[in-house]
Amino acid sequence: MLRGFGGLQWRGRDGKGRSAWRRGWVLAALALLLAGVLGFHRQIPDTLGNFGSLIETFLPWFGLAVPVLLVLALLRRSAIALAALLAPVLIWALLFGPLVPDKSGGAYDFTAVQHNISADNTDVAGTMATLMAADPDVISLEEITGTELPVIRQKLETTYRCHVVEGTVGLWSKYPLSDTGPVDIKIGWTRALRATVQTPEGALAVYVAHMPSVRVHFDGGFTANQRNRSAEALGEAIAREKLPRVLLLGDMNGTMNDRALAPITMQLRSAQGSAGAGFGFSWPASFPAARIDQIMSRGVTPTAAWTLPRTGSDHLPIGAHFELQPAAG
C-alpha cells in the first residue's frame, strides 16, 4: 500500500473503512460549488443586494480557493475531492487564462492615459508628472476639484494645449478638440463628457466618464443601483455615436465581468483584455484587487495596456497604446 504523511493511505481504507473515493465528499461538494460560481456567475441573482455584481467584481480572486481546497484534499487523501477540483480549475483557466500572458506588441500611433486623481490628492503636481512621463496623446481625469484644476492646467497646458472640463471630469489632448460637451448619465450633476479628437489619422470620439460609486453594506449588500442606471445611460450615448472610432476612458466603478456594465461592455472592448499582461488591477492603489478603471475602444486596435506608477490617488493610473486606422472615405 502507498502511504502518505500522517500515516493516511491513498490505497486501502481509513480508520472508518472508507476508500480514497469515498472520503472527502464535503470537499468535493465545495469544489463543485466553486465551479458553479465561476461558470454560472451570470445566473447568480442581483435582486438581493446586487449580490451577483459583487461576486463578479472580484471573480478572479475566487481562484484562490483552489489551492486551499487542494491542500485540504491532499491532507484528507480524497481522490473524489481531487477529481472534483478539476472543474473549477478548468473553468477559471477558460475565463481568465487568456488574460495572464503578455499580449502587448505591434505598432501604435496613439496613446491614452486615464486616471481618477482623487479629490483628496495632496500631490497633484507630482501626479501630473507621472501621467506625462508616459507621453500620452490624451489624458483623462476624474474627481477634479476647483482647487486642483489650476494646478492641473499649469502642469499640462504646455504639452496639452487643448482641453475640456465638464463638472469633475476632464480631457487634455495634444490634438485639437471639437464637438465637446457633457454627457448625461442620470445622476443630477456632470461626471461624463464627449469630445472629438482631431488626430492626424482622422477624427476619434473620446468619452470620459466617472460612474457613481458603489458601496458594500452588511445590512444592504452591494448598493450599485445608481451606477447601474448611469451605465445604461452611457451605453445609450455610445450607441448613438456616429463616428466609427471610439475610446471610453474612465473610472467605471466596476469590472468588465460586472453584468451591470453590459450596456457599455457589449459595445466596446477592453484594452487590458486585448493587449495587456495580467489583470491590470487598478484599485485600491495600496493593494490593487480589481480593475475598475477602464480604457475601452471600438474601431481602433489596442496594442498595449498597462498600469502606471502609484500617485497621490487611491487609484492607479492606466495607459494604452492604439493603432488608429485611417477613417474610411
Q: CATH number, domain at 218?
A: 3.60.10.10
Q: What is the DSSP string of 214-263?
A: -EEETTTEEE-HHHHHHHHHHHHHHHT--SS-EEEEEE-SS-TT-GGGHH
pLDDT value, residue 225: 78
Question: Where a domain ends, among 77, 99, 121?
Answer: 99
What's the start-to-end Cα distance of the chain, in Å? Answer: 76
Alpha carbon distance 261, 281 (integer Å): 17
Question: Do the beta carbons of residue 73 and residue 83 sit within 8 Å?
Answer: no
Q: Tally the domains of the chain.
A: 2
The pLDDT of residue 1 is above 80: no
What would the pLDDT profile of 45-75 be if each residue is shown by its tens digit?
Answer: 866 666 777 888 899 999 999 999 999 999 8
CB under 8 Å to 217, separation ≥6 — which residues? 49, 223
Residue 144 belongs to some domain of the structure: yes
- The answer on 120 and 61 residing in a single domain is no
Question: Where a domain ends, among 35, 68, 99?
Answer: 99
Residue 197 belongs to some domain of the structure: yes
pLDDT band at residue 176 under the 50/70/90 scheme: very high
The pLDDT of residue 329 is above 50: no
Write out the three cell numbers for 274.
486585448
Alpha carbon distance 283, 317 (integer Å): 10
- The answer on 272 and 124 residing in a single domain is yes
**Domain extent at residue 83:** 5-99
- The answer on 140 and 249 residing in a single domain is yes
- The answer on 82 and 137 residing in a single domain is no
- The answer on 203 and 306 residing in a single domain is yes
Write out the three cell numbers for 260.
451591470
What would the pLDDT profile of 250-280 be if each residue is shown by its tens digit?
Answer: 999 999 998 889 999 999 999 999 999 999 9
What would the pLDDT profile of 24-49 be if each residue is shown by its tens digit?
Answer: 899 999 999 999 999 999 888 866 66
pLDDT band at residue 11 under the 50/70/90 scheme: low
